[in-house]
């Protein structure tokens, strides 16, 4: 059976020592009183909930799955899931970073992200039930009417109700311009919505009295394509004026998807048969409102893979220390035993260190982005809000795609450490791999994220925000450029930072002549950008570790951070050279292949 220990020290290191979060909070009146002790205490309790309540349900939930009653359209999640959710609500966890006016605790978003990293490590399938509610909350908070906010936000904040996002249809996934769900106006200002949705995570369950669906649909006179999409809030049960629940809305789960992983989550096919909803935002501008939820979900999916990377690493490390297999190539290490533990073998260490590096880099990037979001929403300086929002928009596809690609590679590597036992269910490793695989697919496949990054976020504004990121990296390079101890961490990002401008310009010029060039280069380009950002994160972490050691610290924690950073730059970062070469290879070898693909 696997185990899980919340990585509280690693979180504290990134939040307090690398990014000095509490100093950032002091500039925001709503968070000015939030101190490190408060954050640490909250996360310690969050870790206990994840490790003691939801983690023990992970393997059993995977084996049991969800059950649909075809007659009633009701879904029963695995045993223990509902009770764990009740404890979650009782502990006030859904309200952690929600607004106080709706019953929230008003803590910074970065605290909520750390909570969710631990929940994802413990049980990704379970975590998706409350997780999507945050996106629904954000979309309604940003674009909902006063009446919608009054009706739905207090219940989503408390966790009494949960939320979903209903986008995908059987004939269209990412290309939402093709969706067919219809919304017909009713005399009272509401809408009758008819259509079918698929792949709706947490679309039906018995945790809560009501489920709040955010649904994309078309008005009768809507323009074709994505410019004709509106957003509607469609509750499972209608809500009366006094807040009580009314009649059942005809929005039903008609089937459960049979999936490779996340079996404990109800991934539903949803039928809307004249379900009544109210419009969120303006007519035909539903995508703008839904993107609030989609972007929150993309950061959340990156967090899912971060959580799985961490728990897979912990278990692979423990196994490698214990498992005896052959002798070290450089001579016996465990002389009192019949063989050496496999952790002495270089390639086993490479697999373990890959997972460790991807967890450390992913966590630093997640915390960095969460702090940017806190500033984008609550900093008093408009310029700071704008620049923070621009940076997090640039980084969102990297968080989603780079961290999930890395997470799948890391969980695979950790399963490999177990050898044949990794392929056996009771060790838990194969579940981490299966659960991690979906993260590369949903909320926009990683290819879509790459096209978003290169086509929209970088080339779309002639690299303006990319230059701001480069300036941030350049400040660290200038600060530490003459420090010999930092050279092994600074030089690689300094060189890549200079190369990125030429690399980007070259692809952009080729793409202007032939748009397929952008499509051919995008995935490789995102990984190069991901390594640039991770490189910056590791340089920041190494900087702190070196300063602590120079100040006399004997804590092996800092030595470990340096060793991880050295491994990353030596073994993982050099991938950029092959990626830039393949990106520059162009589209011809892909598109002029009709004979192969006939």
Element (H, E) at 275: strand 267-280
Closest among 87, 85, 69 to 130, alpha carbons compared: 85
Q: 226-255 in b/e burial notation, b at 16+ Cβ within 10 A? A: eebbbbbbbbbbbbeeeeeeeeebbbbbbe
Do 571 and 350 touch, CB atoms closer than 8 A?
yes
**Rounded Cα gap, residues 437 and 270, in angstroms:** 23
* Phi, psi (deg, nearest 5) at residue 109: -60, -30
Do 444 and 452 touch, CB atoms closer than 8 A?
yes
**Rounded Cα gap, residues 506 and 285, in angstroms:** 35
Query: Active-site positions?
Result: 443
**Rounded Cα gap, residues 112 and 108, in angstroms:** 7
Residue 154, sorted as left (phi over 0), alpha (psi -120 to 50) or beta, turns out to be: alpha
Helix segments in 323-345, DSSP class H: none
CA separation (Å) from 129 to 261, 350, 597? 15, 35, 41
**Rounded Cα gap, residues 123 and 64, in angstroms:** 14
Do 52 and 83 touch, CB atoms closer than 8 A?
no
Structure tokens, 539: 């340089």
Give the largest CA-CA distance in the chain. 84
Question: Cβ-count burial of 594 within 10 angstroms (0-12 exposed, 13-18 middle, 19+ buried)?
Answer: exposed
* Phi, psi (deg, nearest 5) at residue 75: -115, 135
Residue 225, sorted as left (phi over 0), alpha (psi -120 to 50) or beta, turns out to be: left
């Amino acid at each position: 059976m696997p185990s899980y220990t919340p990585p509280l020290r690693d979180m504290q290191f990134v939040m307090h020592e690398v990014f000095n979060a509490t100093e950032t909070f002091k500039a925001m009146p709503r968070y000015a009183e939030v101190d490190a002790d408060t954050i640490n205490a909250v996360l310690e309790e969050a870790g206990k909930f994840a490790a003691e309540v939801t983690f023990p349900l992970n393997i059993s939930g995977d084996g049991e799955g969800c059950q649909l009653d075809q007659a009633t359209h009701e879904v029963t999640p695995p045993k223990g899931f509902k009770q764990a959710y009740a404890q979650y609500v009782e502990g006030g966890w859904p309200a952690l970073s929600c607004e106080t006016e709706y019953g929230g605790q008003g803590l910074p978003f970065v605290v909520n992200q750390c909570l969710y990293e631990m929940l994802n490590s413990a049980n990704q399938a379970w975590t998706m039930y409350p997780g999507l509610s945050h996106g629904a909350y954000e979309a309604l908070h940003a674009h909902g009417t006063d009446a919608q906010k009054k009706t739905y936000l207090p219940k989503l904040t408390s966790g009494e109700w949960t939320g979903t996002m209903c986008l995908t249809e059987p004939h269209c996934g990412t290309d939402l311009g093709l969706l067919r769900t219809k919304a017909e106006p009713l005399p009272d200002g509401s809408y009758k919505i008819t259509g079918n949705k698929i792949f709706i995570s947490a679309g039906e369950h018995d945790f809560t009295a009501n489920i709040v669906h955010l649904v994309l649909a078309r008005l009768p006179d809507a323009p074709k394509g994505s410019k004709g999409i509106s957003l509607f809030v469609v509750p499972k049960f209608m809500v009366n004026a006094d807040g009580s629940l009314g009649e059942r809305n005809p929005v039903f789960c008609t089937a459960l998807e049979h999936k490779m992983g996340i079996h404990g989550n109800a991934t539903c096919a949803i039928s809307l048969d004249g379900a009544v909803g109210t419009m969120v935002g303006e007519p035909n501008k539903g995508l703008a409102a839904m993107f609030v939820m989609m972007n929150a979900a993309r950061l959340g999916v990156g967090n899912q893979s971060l959580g799985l990377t961490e728990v897979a690493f912990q278990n692979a490390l423990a196994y490698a220390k214990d498992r005896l297999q052959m002798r070290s190539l450089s001579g016996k290490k465990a002389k009192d035993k019949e063989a050496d533990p496999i952790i002495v073998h270089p390639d086993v260490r490479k697999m373990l260190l890959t997972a460790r590096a991807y967890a450390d880099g992913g966590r630093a990037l997640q915390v960095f982005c969460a702090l940017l979001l806190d500033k984008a929403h609550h900093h008093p300086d408009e310029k700071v809000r704008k620049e923070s929002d621009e940076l997090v928009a640039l980084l969102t596809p990297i968080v989603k795609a780079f961290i999930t690609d890395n997470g799948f590679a890391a969980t695979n590597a950790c399963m490999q450490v177990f050898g044949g036992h990794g392929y056996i269910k009771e060790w838990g490793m194969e579940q981490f791999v299966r659960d991690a695989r979906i993260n590369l697919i949903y909320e926009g496949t990683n290819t879509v994220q790459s096209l978003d990054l290169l086509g929209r976020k970088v080339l779309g504004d002639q690299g303006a925000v990319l230059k701001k990121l480069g300036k941030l990296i350049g400040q660290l390079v200038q600060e530490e450029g003459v420090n010999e101890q930092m050279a092994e961490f600074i030089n690689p990002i300094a060189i890549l930072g200079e190369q990125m401008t030429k690399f980007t310009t070259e692809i952009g010029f080729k793409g202007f002549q032939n748009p397929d060039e952008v499509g051919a280069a995008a995935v490789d380009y995102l990984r190069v950008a991901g390594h640039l950002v991770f490189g910056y994160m590791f340089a920041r972490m190494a900087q702190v570790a070196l300063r602590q050691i120079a100040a006399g610290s004997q804590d092996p924690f800092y030595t470990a951070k340096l060793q991880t950073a050295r491994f990353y730059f030596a073994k993982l970062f050099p991938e950029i050279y092959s990626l830039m070469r393949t990106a520059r290879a162009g589209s011809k070898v892909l598109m002029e292949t009709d004979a192969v693909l006939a």
